[in-house]
Amino acid sequence: MALSSTSAAHAHAVLLNSLTEASNLYPKEEGVTYSYGTAGFRTLGAKLPAAVFRTALLAVLRSKRLEGASIGVMITASHNPEPDNGVKIVDPSGEMLDPTWEQHATALSNCPSTDSLISTFTTLATHLHVDLSQPASIIFARDTRPSGPDLVKALEAGLHAFGDNVKIKDVGVTTTPILHYVVKATNDQSGTYGAPTIEGYMQKMSKAFKELVGIRGPLVPLFVDCANGVGSSAVDTMIPLIEDVLLLRPMNTATGTKGALNDECGADYVKTKQAMPPNLAQLGTLDKPGTTGCSFDGDADRIVFYYVEDATRTFKLLDGDKIATMAAVYFKELLLRTKLTGEEKLSMGVVQTAYANGSSTKYLESRDIPVECVQTGVKHLHHAAKKFDIGIYFEANGHGTVLFSPHAIETLRKASPVTLEAGNAIRHLLNFYELINQAVGDAMSDMLLVEAVLAHKGWGSAEWNAGYQDLPNKLEKVIVPDRNHFVTYDAERRLSHPVGLQELVDIEVGKYEMGRAFVRPSGTEDCVRVYAEAKTKEDVEVLIGNVARLVQEASTGQSMVVAS
Ligand SMILES: CC(=O)N[C@H]1[C@@H](OP(=O)(O)O)O[C@H](CO)[C@@H](O)[C@@H]1O
Ligand SMILES: [Mg+2]
């Protein structure tokens, strides 16, 4: 029965009253400015309660706007140091929050008082055509950070202020990709994506993985550095499900040890330092020839692999580019084997960012695999990958996944294979679809993807690495007075501002064989990032040093003339 206009007005007044009372307990600190960026809101955990409370309000608005579809909220600061925390919203498809709503999150979080918060909230509701009497549904989770429980309280305070009109599901302490999966599966009307629980996800992944490995197991045990973070609980759950085909050996699982999270371990450490975690080196974990390790980051949405080369005893990194190239070459082979033609023929491509090693791009192009370069940040890669039937996207740092289009799945499911080999290829592709997280990159699912491809190829890490050799490269941060003065174009590979700087960078790059360098403002930190690669390590050092100096000079308004 529709509410009469008087009772609707009364309900509205009650809601605003309840929101006001709750908000008074979570005042915004003066002098703090929040910005909803690539990683949602991210700062010191102690500074976040007000932003998390307000994120609850936005998540409810979004759910109500989408007719009660479940919206996710993840509390994590990924690879950042332990005192940091963050919060981000997940859309019903399991993808990141619609970018057009990011500004609303920022607006709500920066309201200086409860009054301005309530008025911004009601204005947004009107402007976004949200019927506040609609039900809403929110699913949330957090990582292992000590500030997590307090932030969950702030979130719940925001959600409870709406009364029983908001359905709340707490997934507990879990990984970012698991939360994305649960949101996607909850909203999947067809019910075919999988059960919307951690167990449902683990079952789905392990079943597909074991079918893919088939008689090729048992595989060589794999060491998994869990970054002393929440990934360790996901690994613990997976171990018994697959131990007959792949033994996982978790390392760095001290989630309860103060200060241990991401400290000298994890994917970010390994990728940035281009070295294995020191404790793995000390323990000689990878000393035995043929042994491979991998590192998750603090919320287990990215992964890199590594091993020690037998002959030279040197550390070899297998990063996101290596995962993307191996997956692309193998999926291309499988697609050929399906013998699908005409309307049934499926497209495949790889999406990278400017940080992809130049050798990986060349390698893909030399195999006629389409490659697209987009801006940094998973949302850009994910969006571009959807254009292909099989869209493979990875950032060099290990964030990424492989997306299968609805057309691809329908075609593969309906196909009548012409040979036994074609039937097997189709079955494998469908199992990869079940194995690989379709919402967001997942260290666990990517780890099993890599292991499955290696098993099919009969390869170890050395054979995987043999495809191409990374060009020596380096990434540096430059602290500048205002990073917004740096404006890029061409998928962030070139600068339009400060005017004249790009020309100087071009002159510098031109001096080195196979040289490439670019400058962009970070989306997550207050700095400008400089990347350089070249044929030799020595050249990279000189090139990055010179470009960083040009950036410094341009940012402080010093002379921008260099001798060429
Ligand atoms: C060079 C680099 O690794 N940049 C990272 C980093 O973005 P920046 O905009 O560079 O700060 O954090 C993003 C979110 O985690 C991640 O998607 C991205 O790859
Ligand atoms: Mg992460």
Q: Which atom of ligand 1 is nearest to the CA of 377?
A: 17
Ligand nearest to the CA of 40: 1
Which residue in 299, 258, 272 sits closest to 83, CA to CA?
258
Query: Tokens 């607006």 identify what position?
Result: 107
9-173 and 320-465: identical CATH topology: yes
3.30.70.20, 3.40.50.300, 1.10.569.10, 3.40.120.10: CATH of 320-465: 3.40.120.10
65 is in an annotated binding site: no
Measured between alpha carbons, how far is 63 from 187 in angstroms, rounded to an integer? 11
- What tokens were used for 451? 């292991």
Measured between alpha carbons, how far is 56 from 145 in angstroms, rounded to an integer? 19
CB-defined site of ligand 1, < 6 Å: 38-39, 78, 355, 376-378, 395, 397, 399, 522-525, 529
Q: Whose CA is nearest to atom 6 of ligand 1?
A: 524
- Taking residues 101-126, report their average pLDDT: 98
Please say whether the beta carbons of 500 and 482 come within 8 A.
Answer: no
Q: Whose CA is nearest to atom 10 of ligand 1?
A: 522
Q: Output the CA 87–ligand 2 centroid distance in Å.
A: 12
pLDDT value for 423 = 98
- Taking residues 451-470, report their average pLDDT: 97
Q: Given pLDDT bands bounded at 50, 70 and 90, which one contains residue 2?
A: low
Residue type at position 464: W
Residue type at position 105: A
Which of 397, 475, 527 for a ligand 1 pocket mutation test, highest count of atoms within 8 Å of Cβ?
397
- Phi then psi dihedrals of residue 96, to 5 deg: -65, 160
Q: Which of 23, 63, 70, 78 is catalytic?
A: 78
Q: 473-555: which CATH architecture?
A: 2-Layer Sandwich (3.30)
pLDDT per residue over 274-318, tens digit each? 999 999 999 999 999 999 999 999 999 999 999 999 999 999 999
Which residue in 171, 164, 190 sits closest to 237, CA to CA?
171
353 is in an annotated binding site: no
pLDDT per residue over 48-72, tens digit each? 999 999 999 999 999 999 999 999 9
Q: Whose CA is nearest to atom 12 of ligand 1?
A: 524
Burial code (b: 16+ CB inside 10 Å, e: under 16) for 75-87 equals bbbbbbebebbbb
Q: Which atom of ligand 1 is nearest to the CA of 529?
A: 10
Q: Whose CA is nearest to atom 9 of ligand 1?
A: 523
Enter the pTM of the model: 0.95
CATH number at 9-173? 3.40.120.10
- What tokens were used for 413? 């499911």
Measured between alpha carbons, how far is 291 from 108 in angstroms, rounded to an integer? 50
Report helix, strand or coil for 366: helix
In degrees to the nearest 10, what's the CA dihedral of 161, 439, 446, 384? Answer: -130
Higher pLDDT, 556 or 274: 274
> Is residue 128 predicted with pLDDT exceeding 60?
yes
Domain 198-316 adopts which CATH fold? Alpha-D-Glucose-1,6-Bisphosphate; Chain A, domain 3 (3.40.120)
Residue type at position 447: M
- Taking residues 177-206, report their average pLDDT: 96
Please say whether the beta carbons of 133 and 219 come within 8 A.
Answer: no
pLDDT value for 561 = 42
287 is in an annotated binding site: no
Q: Which atom of ligand 1 is nearest to the CA of 521?
A: 9
> Is residue 245 predicted with pLDDT exceeding 80?
yes
Domain residue ranges in the chain: 9-173, 198-316, 320-465, 473-555
Clarify whether 78 is annotated catalytic: yes
Q: What percentage of the chain exceeds 70 in pLDDT?
A: 98
- Cβ neighbours around 516 below 10 Å, total: 18
Q: Which atom of ligand 1 is nearest to the CA of 525?
A: 11
Measured between alpha carbons, how far is 263 from 80 in angstroms, rounded to an integer? 9
